[in-house]
Amino acid sequence: MLRDRLVTLFTPDLRGPMRYALDRRTFWYSHYLSTGLRTSSGILAVALPALWLLPLGLALAMAFGASCLALVDQTGPLRSKMRELAVSLLLNTLASCAVGLLQPHPLAQDAVTLLLTFASAFVLLYGKRAMPIQFSMLLAMTLSIAHGGTPHEALRTSAAFLLGGILYFAYAMAVSTRQRHRVKQQVLAECLFELARYLDIKAGFYDPATDLDSQYTALIRQQVVLAEKQQAARDMVLQPQQDPGDDRLIQIHLGMLDLYEQVMSTHTDYAALRFYFGQGDVLIFLRDMVLKTMRDLEAIAYALTRDRVSSSPVRYAAEQRALEYELHLLSQQVQAHTMPAEALTQLRSAFVKIGDIVRCIGELHAATRLQKVDLPALDLRLFVSRPRLGRTLLLDNLSLQSPICRYALRITMAMATALVIGDLLPYASHAYWIMLTIVIIMKPSYALTRERRAKRMLGTVLGCALAGVVLWWVRSPVALLVILYLSLTTSATFVQIRYLYTATAATLTVMILLHFIDHGGSAGIAVERLADTGIGVLIASVFSFVLPNWERQALPSLLRRMLGSARLYLDESRGLLLDHPMDDENYRLARKSFLDQIAGVNAALLRMLEEPRHRQHGVRQINQLLVRTYLITSHVAALRMMLRRHPELPQQESYRIELSAAMDLATQALSEACTTLQGASQAASGATPPAMSSSSPAEMAFTADALPGSSEHLRRVLQQRIRSLQTDALSLIPLAARASRVLQGPAYTTAPPSA
């Protein structure tokens, strides 16, 4: 498996979509590699002069100060990076100084260590980007335990630690400022690549050989990745401080979001299409056309990574002519009454929407060539992430009901156990490695802890073995420094995408450093490292079951938020579809929030699948609820695309009446489903939800003459789409009831909203 993953960097799989982070064609231009090169170069830029000019102890302290801060040097907006690095530098220095000064007082030092461990967990309240800050603080604290001394020496060491951090801070901000526009290109390109993978999954719906349920599951899973990458792109591209050429990136970003909505609008009754057309070639032509759009979008992303103008590598004429001919033949069957007209309407609608995707991709190609861009009148700051700050957030989570508080207690108890065991080991001078292993492995959720546990142990074994080979064959200090630089780069590059590589490279880095410090003792140190890592993994594994945060506990709250955001999305869509305003800012915000909530529920579901089997509750029910909720966005997106092609629709009274009634029914269904999830007693008893007061979907559908002046095809498409919107919204009520019944139980507790 490891060999296969490494091979992908040099021999890409040309059959599927490009993989931005692990594909030879894109990896060398990715922000992951540039981040690894930047951080490793910064660490060595601080460490090497320090080793030349200062005593070994102070030089190592400066190197550790730079290394701890480098962990927080993530890809992100300059303002966020400056704030994160400054906060981390302050916390790291305070933790290092506090623990180092108490070296002559072991009991007080242990107490402060545990107190800092407990407090560090609450840093995670401020979002995902705070995780490196917490880890960096714990790492600085752990290293201070390992390299203590007298109070005077501790002060000197802390001063050197602070100086190393300050130098790295200045270096990181200078390099990041210079590379700001380039990083925006890289992050936006990654988002485009993930959207291309999304198109690849959509193509599978037109292949009769694929399983529809599996395709829906894969589609929702990819949306989690896509939502995360889209928000990262927003945070980078839509920043107030702009560089030359940023207007073009904003235009590409907004065009990408419109393309995403266009892709969602292509949803149709795939089972019906397969039933009527699965034996012919027409679905294969549609599949091939969607696959070409994937390659076309990849070409834009690839050109963006290389800062070049893009051009389309594919032609759609063959599939378009073949599909037009097939549609002509099928229309004759409809006239002969050998095929229902509704089936041909769905097929023709799918063809038209895929053609719209081709047009949107053509606009993205054109955007890469624009020199001057007129941007829409949007307040772009509304779409950028903002950290949640405030004393109330902290106070609300000082309770055992809070997952963060439970995690804080869990990791504190694990560190206390490590301190006790470390004092009993015969090689106690290296026992800090146990604590370091716990810090690396233990995460707020069991799924993340389990993932890190296996990779940390295997990475340590591989790193020690690799270090043994390197130190046996390589004698030149210069060559070892080159290997050290490569291992630092590898460790920083793969920390988010392949943690096993990071664990292996980090172990190799430490072993080379120890070889420089204590030449000749590497074999014994390697055995101790393996033993310490094993003990740390065992402690982390045991305490991962103490005050655990099972995903089942948070899912009802996440589901209610998802349905609530869906209701808000429908409210904003109503005004857009009925009045056709030019200002769609509120709609875009509601759409973003809705898709983010769907991604959040799906991410929690994926984490639950990594938990022990007896803790996995309601997987099938939640997945069905996710799919049906996701389809609401597809129906609204399809209606919006039709409105763009037919702007005269809002002027027709019949359209307004029928669509308004459909929106009312869908909104009421969402409210009922949300109430069902909230009512534990109704869900537990298995009571049937109250009947809806609105009409059934069949009664709400368009009549044949409901839209005078419109084409027959348009009437049929609107009829099918509004009926589907009503049907899928109504289906959420029983699905929510089943999910609620499964998720309720004796061990159930609701996580606070602020967690």
What would the pLDDT profile of 247-291 be if each residue is shown by its tens digit?
A: 888 889 888 988 988 888 888 888 888 888 888 889 999 999 999
DSSP for 113-162?
Answer: HHHHHHHHHGGGGG-GGGHHHHHHHHHHHHHHHHT---HHHHHHHHHHHH
Are the beta carbons of 80 and 239 closer than 8 angstroms?
A: no
pLDDT at 4 over 60: no
Q: Which of 204, 365, 187 is nearest to 273 (CA)?
A: 204
What's the rounded mean pLDDT across residues 212-219?
Answer: 85
pLDDT digits (tens, 9 = 90+) for 521-570: 455 666 777 788 888 888 888 888 888 877 777 788 888 888 888 888 88
Model pLDDT, residue 376: 61
> Predicted confidence band at 695 (pLDDT cuts at 50, 70, 90)?
very low
pLDDT at 665 over 70: yes
Model pLDDT, residue 583: 62
Q: Any idea where the domains of the chain sit in the sequence? A: 24-178, 186-379, 395-549, 551-743
pLDDT at 503 over 80: yes
Are the beta carbons of 294 and 200 closer than 8 angstroms?
A: yes
Region of residue 321 (left: phi > 0; alpha: psi -120 to 50; beta: else): alpha
Beta-carbon count within 10 A of 214 CB: 11
What's the rounded mean pLDDT across residues 323-352?
Answer: 84
Helix (H, G, I), strand (E, B) or coil at 179: coil
pTM for the whole structure:
0.83
Are the beta carbons of 455 and 540 closer than 8 angstroms?
A: no
Instruction: State the Cα–Cα distance between residues 172 and 81, nearest whole angstrom.
Output: 9
Instruction: State the Cα–Cα distance between residues 394 and 398, nearest whole angstrom.
Output: 7
Helix (H, G, I), strand (E, B) or coil at 364: helix
Model pLDDT, residue 720: 77
In this structure, which amino acid lies at residue 552? Answer: R
Model pLDDT, residue 86: 93
> Predicted confidence band at 64 (pLDDT cuts at 50, 70, 90)?
confident
pLDDT at 162 over 80: yes
Residues in CB range of 186: below 8 A, 6 or more apart: 29, 30, 31, 34, 75, 305
Model pLDDT, residue 41: 92
pLDDT at 163 over 90: yes
Beta-carbon count within 10 A of 318 CB: 12
Integer CA distances (angstroms), 677 to 20, 607, 689, 692, 741, in order: 39, 21, 11, 16, 9
Instruction: State the Cα–Cα distance between residues 595 and 260, nearest whole angstrom.
Output: 11
Model pLDDT, residue 294: 93
Q: Is 11 exposed, middle or buried (0-12, 13-18, 19+ CB in 10 A)?
A: exposed
Model pLDDT, residue 170: 95
> Predicted confidence band at 430 (pLDDT cuts at 50, 70, 90)?
low
Are the beta carbons of 152 and 58 closer than 8 angstroms?
A: no
Beta-carbon count within 10 A of 647 CB: 9
Q: Is 451 exposed, middle or buried (0-12, 13-18, 19+ CB in 10 A)?
A: middle
546 compared with 691, residue with greater pLDDT: 546
Q: Which of 129, 189, 191, 139 is nearest to 161 (CA)?
A: 139
355 compared with 745, residue with greater pLDDT: 355
What's the rounded mean pLDDT across residues 154-169?
Answer: 90
Q: Which of 525, 510, 471, 536 is nearest to 64 (CA)?
A: 510
**Greatest Cα pair distance in the chain:** 96
Model pLDDT, residue 442: 84
| Percentage of the chain modeled with pLDDT above 90 | 12
SS3 content of the chain, % helix, strand, coil (to 5): 75, 0, 25
Q: Which of 254, 228, 250 is nearest to 240 (CA)?
A: 250
Residues in CB range of 377: below 8 A, 6 or more apart: 583
Instruction: State the Cα–Cα distance between residues 400 and 95, nearest whole angstrom.
Output: 25
Instruction: State the Cα–Cα distance between residues 572 and 592, nearest whole angstrom.
Output: 12
> Predicted confidence band at 146 (pLDDT cuts at 50, 70, 90)?
low
In this structure, which amino acid lies at residue 378? Answer: L
**The residue to which tokens 């967690």 are assigned:** 755
Locate all alpha helices (DSSP H) within 580-711, ordered by sequence: 585-608, 619-645, 653-678, 680-685, 697-700
What's the rounded mean pLDDT across residues 443-449?
Answer: 79
Averaged pLDDT of the chain: 80
Tokens for 657, please give them.
């009446």
Model pLDDT, residue 587: 81
Are the beta carbons of 674 and 563 closer than 8 angstroms?
A: yes
Integer CA distances (angstroms), 132 to 92, 676, 738, in order: 12, 38, 39
Model pLDDT, residue 321: 92
pLDDT at 54 over 90: no
Architecture of domain 186-379: Up-down Bundle (1.20)
